[in-house]
Amino acid sequence: MSASSEQLFARAQQLIPGGVNSPVRAFRSVGGAPFFTKSASGATLTTADGRELIDFVCTWGPAIHGHNHPHIKAAIADALENGTSFGTPNPHEVEMAELIVKFFPSIQKVRMCNSGTEATMSAIRLARGFTSRDKIIKFAGCYHGHSDSLLVAAGSGALTHGHPDSAGVPAAFARETVVLPFNDTAALDAAFAANPGQIAGVILEPYIGNVGFIKPDPGYLQHVRAACTKHGAVLIFDEVMTGFRLARGGVQELEKITPDLTTLGKIIGGGLPVGAFGGRTDIMDQLAPLGPVYQAGTLSGNPLALAAGIAALKLLDELNPYAQLDALGRQVASAALSAAQAKGLALQAPQTGSMLSLFFTDRPVRDLPTAMTSDAKLFSRFFHACLAAGVYAPPSAYEAWFLSTAHEGAAVARACEIISGAIKSL
């Protein structure tokens, strides 16, 4: 008999801080111990204990085609025949750049890296180098990975664990980051007025996915775009989560906005570690070896990772599954809403395409403070009721749910029953 989740977690805690390699996996905000996954296929995770769970985390976003998709698997196997890393340019890098530029018209040039964190960190450095300014504006609750300048009032694990400002981030770095409330045009205008000629860039998740799922008010993103243009600041859309998930061209396609730089990750790696950042040629050409802004990576453009990502993007192009994914997302959100109504529970279920959130609150959620009105204790009871019945929801009240095309059919029907049952049991 192989090791159980309990045995593995006991061993892991001896050697790995908290037993995990990324904090939210530890289940601290919902309580209890995490399960270990032995394998994953389609919409299903199989745990080390042999349980099958319908997965609404989808490896935190990448698995838009479901787990272990045969096309992606085959692409990795093909690439593997040729070797795992070359340290020279390789053909996959050119094909990936062509795909990204095709779907994101705002991206004229792109650089590959190994994670979303690297992408946002590098985009920030580039914005600073390009403008010769130091300050960055970010928004409370937006998460852009764990680099120093960006780990200020960040969402995701940082929020779940109650350290919005991480220890180890120098106060001097944090001072270069101006944090504003999301969806507040007056606050943005005031920040530009208070820091004349000093704002290098504005970074945001155009639809937030890291305090749960939050959409901007109509016209808000247009206002941010206009303010950046007016003040000569670089507008960075962090579409690590939303890129290729809500549309092939991300939120910028849905909202018809052209940012100066875009960061990508998650889906573009097809389940392997990949990030990318790209945008206007005049800005991107400031990067080494053409320009003075240094950025590099031993494994950047890795052939296996890019083969997986290219296969994932080509599938999206072929299938154009966005209407199907939206129908699935709506099905889950409305099942939850009707169960909550039957039970007399206040629930907000914002959803677009294959992203949604269940906030146990009577307040419409439009920023970090309203997200925080969500009843986290109730969410943990709901989470554990789902888990006991076979649905793996995100293990925090402040993380978005993700669906894949593999949720179609029996998986989504069964999941909706379980989610409704869990809400009614609260």
Ligand X SMILES: *Cc1c(COP(=O)(O)O)cnc(C)c1O
Which residues, 124 to 143, sit near ligand X by CB under 6 A?
143
Among 62, 141, 209, 395, binds ligand X (CB under 6 A): 209
DSSP state of 152: B
Neighbours of 385 (CB within 10 A): 19
Which residues, including other chains, have CB under 8 Å from residue 323's CB and lie 6 or more apart?
none
Are the C-beta atoms of residues 364 and 370 closer than 8 Å to each other?
A: yes
Look up 322 and say whether it is catalytic.
no
Look up 392 and say whether it is catalytic.
no
Nearer to ligand X by Cβ, of 182 and 192: the residue is: 182
Q: How many residues does the chain have?
A: 426
Among 19, 34, 62, 116, binds ligand X (CB under 6 A): 116
Query: What distance in Å separates the CA atoms of residue 339 and residue 334, rounded to the nearest whole number?
Result: 8
Q: Is 241 in the site for ligand X (CB under 6 A)?
A: yes
Query: What distance in Å separates the CA atoms of residue 189 and residue 199, rounded to the nearest whole number?
Result: 12
Residue 235 sits at φ, ψ, to 5 deg, of -90, 120
Question: Taking CB under 6 A as the rule, which mask of x and - marks residues 242-271 in contact with ligand X?
Answer: -----------------------x------
Q: Is 55 in the site for ligand X (CB under 6 A)?
A: no
Taking CB under 6 A as the binding criterion, the range among 2-10, 115-123, 371-379, 402-410 that sits at the site for ligand X is 115-123
* Given the residues 184, 207, 220, 238, the one annotated as active site: 238
Helices 220-231 and 185-194 pack at an angle, to 10 degrees, of 10
Q: Is 117 in the site for ligand X (CB under 6 A)?
A: yes
Query: What distance in Å separates the CA atoms of residue 97 and residue 111, rounded to the nearest whole number?
Result: 8
- Per-residue tokens: 257: 């906005």
Among 26, 124, 240, 306, binds ligand X (CB under 6 A): 240
Nearer to ligand X by Cβ, of 241 and 339: the residue is: 241
Which residues, including other chains, have CB under 8 Å from residue 360's CB and lie 6 or more apart?
345, 346, 347, 374, 375, 378, 379, 382, 397
Q: Is 210 in the site for ligand X (CB under 6 A)?
A: yes
Look up 184 and say whether it is catalytic.
no
DSSP states of 123-137 as a string?
HHHHHHHHHT--EEE
Nearer to ligand X by Cβ, of 5 and 106: the residue is: 106
Question: Taking CB under 6 A as the rule, which mask of x and - marks residues 279-318 in contact with ligand X?
Answer: ----------------------------------------
Shortest distance, position 208 Cβ to ligand X, whole Å? 8
So which residues are the catalytic ones? 143, 238, 266
Query: Binding residues for ligand X, per CB under 6 A?
Result: 115-117, 120, 143-145, 205, 209-210, 238, 240-241, 265, 275
